[in-house]
Structure 1
Amino acid sequence: MNDSQHRGGVHMANGFDPSAGAELDPAAAALLRRRDRVLGPSYRLFYREPVAIERGEGVRLLGADGREYLDAYNNVPAIGHSHPAVTAAVSAQLATLNTHTRYLTEPIIDYSERLLAKFPDPLDRVTYACTGSEAIDLAIRTARAATGRQGVIISEHAYHGTTVAAAGLSPSLGPNNPLGEHVVTVPSVDAARTPPEEIGPRLLASVEAAIRELEARGEGVAAVLFDSILSSDGVQPDPAGFLAPAADAVRRAGGLYLADEVQPGFGRTGAWWGFERHGLVPDLVVLGKPMGNGMPISALVGSAAVQERFGASVRYFNTFGGNPVSIAAAGAVLDVIEQDGLVAHADAVGAFLLDGLRELGARHDRVAHVRGAGLFLAMEFGAEDARRTPDADLAARVVDGMRRAGILISASGPAAAALKIRPPLPFSRGDAERLLETLDDVLAEEARR
């Protein structure tokens, strides 16, 4: 095994470290050796003992060893792994036509009309790409063209993608990943150590300071870009509305508000879009991963007015962005979310799960904070000191304990001290009960250490 997982001091929350000496199943160990011989060294694996997966269905994954895992982490298969509606739609379209957007085809128009109907006015135009990273890149280019300014404000542990531009907006990729030239960060929201009534004012003050810095540098502010649930900052949904004052401040300075909905979008938070909880209408919205349930499709949504200057001056084309096969997958996702009532389902099951996590938090001393919106939740661990210093080691042990018990979750936040619970939307109340019972057992085992 090579040491690529932690080379150069690079760390990934909940990452596999080959130097830790984990005893792997022989078949998994052989697969890992083959993987290391052919894949690039920047790849990472989850868990102290990586999981070898062969098949997925609904909210469950089947390991190569025949073991079944309850998936409480993957948001890309939003409507469940290997959903038959997506399989049928993709297969039928692939057998009919798959080409680019320079021909006049009806499916992309049908889907766009349906998608835009989910957004408030004046968000009435959509441009397609293949990945969230590409859509983030397009959003920044569009914002800079619309405002004539360069500066972008992000949170200090944000993740927005992997292209040169998007990686430059993703400090969570690590200390060896340089930020963009015109990028300024603001401190991450820290709900575990900040009174709820202070969260919004602190963020506003930080954004206003960032605006002043960008103006003093002569760059001005083109946009503030926030993931609507601040996922990489530890999942920070509360209090509802705290993002709105920061958006207003940026607009007063001549910039735009960009909502990254790649993770919170499509019903995950119990509403169609994460920004709805904050009572604001973004200028531009980025969509990705869950949009096609694993098929490569992403989008930038905004008003015609905001996108006009970029569209009039730059020819944008993405060969496979919005191709008919990916559009078919995206349409099937909308069908299932609507027909199965998955937005309301995420709200109801998420509320049950949040109540259960809070009950566990009240029983286990090392739980510093519990938070969530819909099926996007976090349980943060802290030391038993006055500051409740974030405890990343405990979070990592709990994640691995859950994995051993057959439930897949992850960790998040600047200190990687918060469990990240984000299952596919069909996650049932029974699944939630199993997760809570298992987590209670794992926390009890940790208390006995």
Structure 2
Amino acid sequence: MSGMRPILDMNAFREGDSSSAAVSRRLRNVGAASVLFYREPIEMVGATGATMIARDGTRYLDFYNNVPSVGHTHPKVVEAVQRQIATLNTNTRYLVDIVDRYLDALKSQLPAHLGNVIMTCSGSEANDLALRVARAATGGTGVVVSQAAYHGNTALTTDVSPSALKAMPLPDWVVAVAPPGPAQYGQDVADGFAQAVGGAIATLKDRGHAPAALLMDSIFSSDGVFADPPGGLAKAADVMRAAGGLVIADEVQPGFGRTGSHFWGFARHGLQPDIVTMGKPMGNGFPMAAMAAQPDHLAAFCSDVGYFNTFGGNPVAAAAGLAVLEVIHQEGLMENAHEVGAALIAGLRDIGHQSAQVGDVRGAGLFIGLDLIEQDSGTADPAFTVRVIDAMRDEGVMIGAAGREGATLKIRPPLCLTRDEADRFLAAFQRALDRLAAPKN
């Protein structure tokens, strides 16, 4: 994976950077698998809406976490979880009304052909199951993903997550293609991306693998956020289906109204995926995820092995998920993502016109990618990106990085973000650049 910056290395703590007792305790407990943000990690004690509160009392605008999608500690979600866990929590071998009420509500947001929903605990499990279903339904084994994709941390999903691999190459049944954008494919992004998928399928066949699936996060978040053009993924989907494979829409990041114009990222592209996976924002912090599939595809898989998940679909998760759906609709959060996201993008582009180290600004709704570049060469500048992230922390804003080189700011605040909070973010970003960056000539 030469040239690829692993996703867990982006702005990560390095042992020796801090001498705090809390950090030492974490390292003793977790060891080499410990993942902490910032070189001087923050101890958090509370959160509400789009704000997180540190042990020292510092209040941070949270532009990093897309898990509490309707806002940290949203009272409706909190109340639903408290009520249900005080009543009943068990597995899906029993009939529990709230579980099927949630499944019916979730299915009402999905294409009608996706008639079966399997609940899991994490997006990793959902994507793992989706790949297994695709293989059972098609008889193929090969998978096409994007160059810096991240789809999970099981053995199977790690193999299809180039950004998770530090040293080992992709297995021969996985081929990665560049994400859809004009820098990669010129003016006809849709046709270029489709041709790349076709080339990947040919490579898989040369290696002895019939294609099973095209697995896409429809906003290509780990690749650096590539949202446009709307509809630009349909041709690639057609190419995969013509070769006998399925299309899996990984909605763990772009789903549940985040892109502003549509409830799902795939819908923004006019796609009718064969399988949809979802996770992070479903429970606003409660661990839950799901895979939605066509009944015949799921039946093909279950005829061989079947599937059961002890905690997936438990009543407390269903209560959290139902509350999240209700909040999104009752509070108009998808519309808010559209309006506030458009203002953020416009503000960031205005700032970019004055800065030599701000490159492209891309995105949809409240999922935005901003490239940081070297002033003279215009190439990606991951070192400067880390400095900006640290400067934003000093300004009371948490933000992360993405992209192949780790030089794209990944902007994904809770969907409840207000215009005032967006303006505060823009002002903080401007101040950070004023301290660090040179003006444009």
Q: What TM-score, normalized to structure 1?
A: 0.93
Shift of 1:124: 1.9
State the alpha-carbon separation in 2 of the partners of residues 319 and 373 from structure 1. Answer: 36
Residue of structure 1 equivalent to 2:368: 377
1:433 paired with 2:423, answer yes
Q: Select the residue among 199, 220, 227 that pairs with 1:230.
A: 220
Residue of structure 1 equivalent to 2:403: 413
Q: Name the SS for the 2:215 alignment partner.
A: strand
8 Å CA contact retained: 1:370, 1:379 = yes
Spell out the pairing of 1:89-108 with structure 2 (5 A cutoff): 89-108=80-99
Q: Which runs of 5 or more residues in structure 2 are unaligned?
A: 1-5
Cα distance change, pair 448–214 in 1 and its aligned pair in 2 (3 A): closer
Shift of 1:396: 1.0
Shift of 1:120: 2.0
Q: Which amino acid aligns with 1:232?
A: S
Q: Select the residue among 308, 314, 318 that pairs with 2:305.
A: 314
8 Å CA contact retained: 1:72, 1:408 = yes
Residue of structure 2 equivalent to 1:394: 384
8 Å CA contact retained: 2:172, 2:207 = no
Q: Name the SS for the 1:231 alignment partner.
A: coil
Shift of 1:49: 2.3
Q: Which amino acid aligns with 1:285?
A: V
Q: Which amino acid aligns with 2:310?
A: T
1:301 paired with 2:292, answer yes
Shift of 1:314: 2.3
State the alpha-carbon separation in 2 of the partners of residues 225 and 115 from structure 1. Answer: 21
Spell out the pairing of 1:174-189 with structure 2 (5 A cutoff): 174-189=165-180
Spell out the pairing of 1:261-300 with structure 2 (5 A cutoff): 261-270=251-260, 271-300=262-291
Residue of structure 2 equivalent to 1:173: 164
Q: Select the residue among 29, 38, 48 that pairs with 1:47.
A: 38
1:135 paired with 2:126, answer yes
1:217 paired with 2:207, answer yes
8 Å CA contact retained: 1:265, 1:273 = yes
Q: Which amino acid aligns with 2:391?
A: G
Residue of structure 1 equivalent to 2:113: 122
Shift of 1:45: 1.1
8 Å CA contact retained: 2:173, 2:207 = no
CA-to-partner distance for each residue in 1:270-326, whole Å, 9 max, x for gaps?
121001111111100001011011111110012223322113332210001000011
State the alpha-carbon separation in 2 of the partners of residues 177 and 189 from structure 1. Answer: 25
8 Å CA contact retained: 2:356, 2:438 = no
Q: What TM-score, normalized to structure 2?
A: 0.94
CA-to-partner distance for each residue in 1:135-194, whole Å, 9 max, x for gaps?
001000000010011101111111000010111111101333553452111123455x35
Q: Select the residue among 213, 231, 239 that pairs with 2:229.
A: 239
Shift of 1:99: 0.8
1:15 paired with 2:28, answer no
State the alpha-carbon separation in 1 of the partners of residues 209 and 251 from structure 2. Answer: 26
State the alpha-carbon separation in 2 of the partners of residues 52 and 447 from structure 1. Answer: 29
State the alpha-carbon separation in 1 of the partners of residues 163 and 113 from structure 2. Answer: 32
Q: Which amino acid aligns with 1:348?
A: E
Cα distance change, pair 40–226 in 1 and its aligned pair in 2 (3 A): same
Residue of structure 2 equivalent to 1:5: none
Shift of 1:51: 1.4
State the alpha-carbon separation in 2 of the partners of residues 433 and 48 from structure 1. Answer: 27
Q: Name the SS for the 2:286 alignment partner.
A: coil
Shift of 1:84: 1.3
Residue of structure 2 equivalent to 1:6: none
Shift of 1:203: 1.6
Residue of structure 1 equivalent to 2:433: 443
State the alpha-carbon separation in 1 of the partners of residues 36 and 181 from structure 2. Answer: 27
8 Å CA contact retained: 1:11, 1:174 = no
State the alpha-carbon separation in 2 of the partners of residues 198 and 103 from structure 1. Answer: 51
8 Å CA contact retained: 1:53, 1:63 = yes
Residue of structure 2 equivalent to 1:30: 21
8 Å CA contact retained: 1:165, 1:180 = no
State the alpha-carbon separation in 2 of the partners of residues 263 and 312 from structure 1. Answer: 31
Q: Name the SS for the 2:224 alignment partner.
A: coil
User: How many residue pairs align between the two structures?
Assistant: 433
Q: Which amino acid aligns with 1:402?
A: M
State the alpha-carbon separation in 1 of the partners of residues 148 and 208 from structure 2. Answer: 25
State the alpha-carbon separation in 2 of the partners of residues 365 and 343 from structure 1. Answer: 33
Shift of 1:425: 0.7
Residue of structure 1 equivalent to 2:355: 364
Spell out the pairing of 1:157-168 with structure 2 (5 A cutoff): 157-168=148-159
8 Å CA contact retained: 2:214, 2:247 = yes
8 Å CA contact retained: 1:157, 1:233 = yes
State the alpha-carbon separation in 2 of the partners of residues 198 and 399 from structure 1. Answer: 33
Q: Name the SS for the 2:35 alignment partner.
A: coil
Q: Which runs of 5 or more residues in structure 1 are unaligned?
A: 1-8
Shift of 1:50: 1.5
Cα distance change, pair 41–371 in 1 and its aligned pair in 2 (3 A): same
Shift of 1:202: 2.4
CA-to-partner distance for each residue in 1:54-81, whole Å, 9 max, x for gaps?
1111111000001111111111011111
8 Å CA contact retained: 2:46, 2:53 = yes
CA RMSD of aligned residues (A): 1.7
Shift of 1:34: 1.2
